Structure 1
Amino acid sequence: MSQPCSVLAPVAITGAMIVSSAVPEADYPTFSMLKAYALGERCISTVTHRIYESVSASSNVGHDPTDLINQFGAVPWWVDQGPTNLWAMFDGYVSTKSAASPLAITLRPGSFNSVALFGLEADGLSIAVRDAPGGNVIYAYSDDLEGSEPGDYYEYFFDRFKPQTDFVVTDLAAFNNAEITVTLTRVTGLARCGLLALGDMKPIGLTEYGAKVTPNSYSFIDVDKFGRTKITPGANTTDMSVTAKLGIAEAAAVYATLKEVQSVPCVVIATDLVDYSPLRVFGLPTPTLSFDGPDLCTVSLEVKGFI
């Protein structure tokens, strides 16, 4: 295939990096130490950017939900219900999605050379990257999120519309004070984004033919004693298996990269070729580096896709 296999370890986004956002963080009122929370009442923390639900039948006053003792202690007061709307696209999971109309956000995350978006539910996407706040635009993109790929005239005229649910751009010029604005639009309903990842895309070798992707469903299937089947829909993920070759001179640097992303959910791209777009997955990579000879190494990568 002779296409580079690369990994993108996302920059950890902090509140200081968010310049502006059209995505509200007002899912529920902010937690107050003075308020008495009833059973089932919810609040948010602007420190952890998480939603918490009171699980105590008695008066819940003065119990900070961000204190793990108040979640997992002998007397639990709160249950974590997931990220707030604004921070859902930065929590490392594709299934938790930020939603707004339009969904627009401007970030200054420092240096980065790649952008990846997953779990998209939108009609249009625009991205603008500047070399500095108010500076020159070094990358601009604006187009419909159309994923249909008709194989013949019949499919072109009659096949159903297929939305594009992910988008990746690489090889951006890196600047220490770069600024990026991402905007998602949707004609009907809210635009949604499951993951917005920024960082340095690092090559780990040249992808060999034979890469595999395995779609997984976490739907619950129950067959009763009469043979009737009930399916409870669940989330879907994609696992990927890929092998790449590299020269011995690159082995130390690639090994350092693989150690850097170990136990870190990241974007793995086996190739940039459009026809091989399924070969890009967000998940947890498990690498093996094999020294096959005096001049050649092999990287075997198993990626467990994240929900």
Structure 2
Amino acid sequence: MKIVPRFDITDAVLVSSNVAESDYTLWSGATTYPLAARVRLVAAEQHEVYQSLQADNIDHAPATSPTWWVKVGATNRWRMFDQRVTDQTENADSIDCTFAVAGRINAVTLHNIDAAELRVTLTDAVDGVVYDRTVNLIADSGVPSWYSWFFAPIDRVHDVALTDVPPYRNATLTVTLTDTGGTVKCGECMFGLGRDLGNTDWGFGVGVREYGRKEADAFGNYDLVPRANSRRGEFVVWVDARNFNAALRQLSELSAVAAAYIGTDIHAATIIFGFYRDFRFLGRHLNWMILNLDIEGLT
């Protein structure tokens, strides 16, 4: 079980992106907006899209006028950093971002992505390129037979965790997703200084919490409204007793904080971006502590 606390991505950290920030027109106090009109609000550390709640909407600042505007989400460029896994940044052919990392990182994770290939590089000012890894995102899961190999739809890996990044200080990180001729999508891109809590025991549980509406009328006919869902995970982790106090402190510091939880390197489904709902250490062995960890993913 590895945990990667999220490194805060600010305007200063995101050095460049090939995704244009041009979803909607910039808000102007001199423009009259109709009902349901959308505008873009861009300022220092602010990259948001708002929707008008009323007609004849003029000179009402979106960020401070809740009766006139409602925040829809981040702009397209910044959706992949907004802690909403369902909201994806989209761009034709590729998404290419460069970050100025202040401090050290050793892990990069991506969630709810749709691309053919991922490339991650880390460049040090003195040593040059110290990490360069390319990942083919064509999934090998779900191909149990030759028939499936030839005729089943091609599936892709949608969650990736790279935990072998060398922890150089103040390096330059580049993340590139490509799908030539297609539309590349990324729900969340994050990086940080990961920690290895211990060994995940077999018997873990992974599922989803879904927020769709399923209502039946008097005749049993259902009205189905699909909505976002979030991944959940229940893990039992064997923690070295010598690391018990440190592990307890590290988890306590992550209370209500978004992080990437990597249950096992074998199954990508155990990569969850979210928070813990609950955890408990059990001291049943002299040399090992048993950690029960309940993870709730973000939508």
TM-score computed with the length of structure 2 as normaliser: 0.91
Rounded to whole Å, the distance in 2 between the matches of 1:287 and 1:6 is: 15
Q: CA distance change for structure 1 residues 142 and 249 in 2, over 3 Å: closer, same or farther? A: closer
Contact 1:93 1:194 in 2 (8 A): yes
Counterpart among 186, 204, 209 of residue 202 in structure 2:
209
Q: Which runs of 5+ in 1 are unaligned?
A: none
Matched with 1:220 is 213
Q: CA distance change for structure 1 residues 53 and 127 in 2, over 3 Å: closer, same or farther? A: same
Contact 1:290 1:299 in 2 (8 A): yes
Counterpart among 260, 266, 276 of residue 253 in structure 2:
260
Rounded to whole Å, the distance in 2 between the matches of 1:135 and 1:248 is: 38
Question: Is 2:270 the counterpart of 1:270?
Answer: no
Q: CA distance change for structure 1 residues 8 and 34 in 2, over 3 Å: closer, same or farther? A: same
Offset from partner CA, 1:37-91 (integer Å, 9 cap, x none)? 3332222222321101222334421x22222xx11xxxx1211011110110001
Rounded to whole Å, the distance in 1 between the matches of 2:218 and 2:180 is: 46
**Matching of residues 281-292 of structure 1 within 5 Å:** 281-285=272-276, 286-292=278-284
TM-score computed with the length of structure 1 as normaliser: 0.89
Contact 2:159 2:271 in 1 (8 A): no
Matched with 2:236 is 243
**What displacement does 1:287 show?**
1.9
Matched with 1:8 is 4
Q: CA distance change for structure 1 residues 59 and 65 in 2, over 3 Å: closer, same or farther? A: closer
Offset from partner CA, 1:128-183 (integer Å, 9 cap, x none)? 22123x95222222343101332232322222211111111002111121111112
Offset from partner CA, 1:228-282 (integer Å, 9 cap, x none)? 3332222232210001122332111111210121101211111112xx3322211
Question: Is 2:79 the counterpart of 1:81?
Answer: no
* Identical columns (%): 28
Matched with 1:39 is 35
Contact 2:159 2:268 in 1 (8 A): no
Q: CA distance change for structure 1 residues 94 and 187 in 2, over 3 Å: closer, same or farther? A: same
**What displacement does 1:199 show?**
0.3
Amino acid in structure 2 at the alignment position of 1:31: W
Matched with 1:120 is 113
Query: If each structure's strand is expressed as a fraction of its own residues, which one has the higher value?
Result: 2
How many matched pairs? 293
Rounded to whole Å, the distance in 2 between the matches of 1:42 and 1:59 is: 11
Contact 1:54 1:60 in 2 (8 A): no
Rounded to whole Å, the distance in 2 between the matches of 1:98 and 1:124 is: 16
Deviates further, 277-286 or 219-228:
219-228
**Matching of residues 85-164 of structure 1 within 5 Å:** 85-101=76-92, 102-110=94-102, 111-132=104-125, 136-149=128-141, 150-164=143-157
Amino acid in structure 1 at the alignment position of 2:114: E
Rounded to whole Å, the distance in 1 between the matches of 2:148 and 2:22 is: 43
**What displacement does 1:93 show?**
1.2
Question: Is 2:271 the counterpart of 1:280?
Answer: yes
Rounded to whole Å, the distance in 2 between the matches of 1:239 and 1:283 is: 9
Deviates further, 52-61 or 9-18:
52-61
Deviates further, 207-216 or 224-233:
224-233
Matched with 1:66 is 63
Deviates further, 145-154 or 10-19:
145-154
Contact 1:8 1:202 in 2 (8 A): yes
Rounded to whole Å, the distance in 1 between the matches of 2:80 and 2:193 is: 18
Amino acid in structure 2 at the alignment position of 1:289: F
Rounded to whole Å, the distance in 2 between the matches of 1:34 and 1:234 is: 36
Matched with 1:54 is 52
SS of alignment partner, residue 262 of structure 1: coil
Deviates further, 78-87 or 244-253:
244-253
Q: Which runs of 5+ in 2 are unaligned?
A: none
Q: What RMSD over aligned residues (CA atoms) do the two structures have, in Å? A: 1.9
**Matching of residues 17-28 of structure 1 within 5 Å:** 17-28=13-24
